[in-house]
Chain A
Amino acid sequence: MSTLFSALKVSAQGMTAQRARLNVTSSNIANIQTTRSADGGPYRRQDPVFRTVDMGDGVAGVEVESIESDQNEPRNVYDPGHPDANADGYVAMPNINLVEEMVNMITAQRAYEANASVVDTTKKMARSALGIGEG
């Protein structure tokens, strides 16, 4: 029974991880044109970093270790009228690529669904095992 429930637990952790990723992606998309952040400069793209968790019996869970800033430099866009433009008329914009974010979003969604399918299969296996005792 514990093995069955540990499969459920791992799937739940996977779903939590993918939800964290979706949250980060939504922040990135929402801040695609944010030029002011707490540590000065434009918003920096965030990326979740996952880490495996050993749960014994060869079962490996997952957890979000940290949410890190993207290493790429901000994009410089020529827009002299912008309040945050520098002397040359360039504005430092967040280093976010919308297409990349959409791909990340769909990947997170599909991975979440895959974990939900694993939960469903685990449940069905348990039910069919219990079916042995019926009738």
Chain B
Amino acid sequence: MVIKGVEQAVGALKGNLALDGAKDAPEGAFAERLEMALESTNELQMDANAAADALAAGAPVSLHDTMIAVEKADISMRLFVSVTRKALEAYQEMMRMQL
């Protein structure tokens, strides 16, 4: 019976997980995308705020445009939160992994 060293096993695992392949992806791609998503979400939130302010101030903006701006901000916020939560979950799952 051949007993393999732990390092060897970890090396095989590494190969399976294709961790080396991951290095080919541009560095910080996910972080950059996340930042872009955060920016556009923030922009939509600001649009919604501006529309609500304008409506309250009696500017000639229509009610439905304001509501739709708020809805857009809501949808994009939900998307951002759920993507962030997923990423965190994946990270925690990795951290719990016992090697």
Dominant secondary structure of chain B at its interface with chain A: helix
CB contacts (< 8 Å) of A31 on chain B: these are none
Question: Is the beta-carbon distance between B82 and A15 smaller than 8 angstroms?
Answer: no
Question: Is the beta-carbon distance between A126 and B75 smaller than 8 angstroms?
Answer: yes
Residue of A nearest to B74 (CB): A123
Q: Report the Cα distance A33→B82, complex, angstroms.
A: 59
Chain B proximity mask over A96-135: 1 for CB below 8 Å, otherwise 0: 0000000000000000000110010001001100100110
Q: Report the Cα distance A133→B71, complex, angstroms.
A: 19
Inter-chain residue pair count (beta carbon < 8 A): 39
**Interface size grouping (class) on chain A:** 10 to 19
Q: Which of B62, B72, B86 contacts A133, CB < 8 Å?
A: B86
Binding site for A on B (CB under 8 A): 62, 64-65, 68, 71-72, 75-76, 78-79, 82-83, 85-86
Q: Report the Cα distance A123→B71, complex, angstroms.
A: 8
Closest 8 CB pairs of A and B: A133-B82, A15-B64, A126-B75, A12-B68, A130-B78, A8-B68, A12-B65, A130-B82
CB contacts (< 8 Å) of B65 on chain A: these are 12, 16
CB contacts (< 8 Å) of A55 on chain B: these are none
**Known A4-B75, A11-B68: A19·B82 in contact at CB below 8 Å:** no
CB contacts (< 8 Å) of A11 on chain B: these are 68
**Known A12-B64, A16-B64, A19-B62: A130·B79 in contact at CB below 8 Å:** yes
Residue of B nearest to A125 (CB): B75
Query: Is A78 in contact with chain B by the CB < 8 A criterion?
Result: no
**Known A16-B62, A19-B62: A119·B68 in contact at CB below 8 Å:** yes
CB contacts (< 8 Å) of B68 on chain A: these are 8-9, 11-12, 119
CB contacts (< 8 Å) of A19 on chain B: these are 62, 64
Chain B proximity mask over A1-35: 1 for CB below 8 Å, otherwise 0: 10011001101100110010000000000000000
Q: Report the Cα distance A115→B71, complex, angstroms.
A: 15
Residue of B nearest to A133 (CB): B82
Question: Is the beta-carbon distance between B71 and A116 smaller than 8 angstroms?
Answer: no
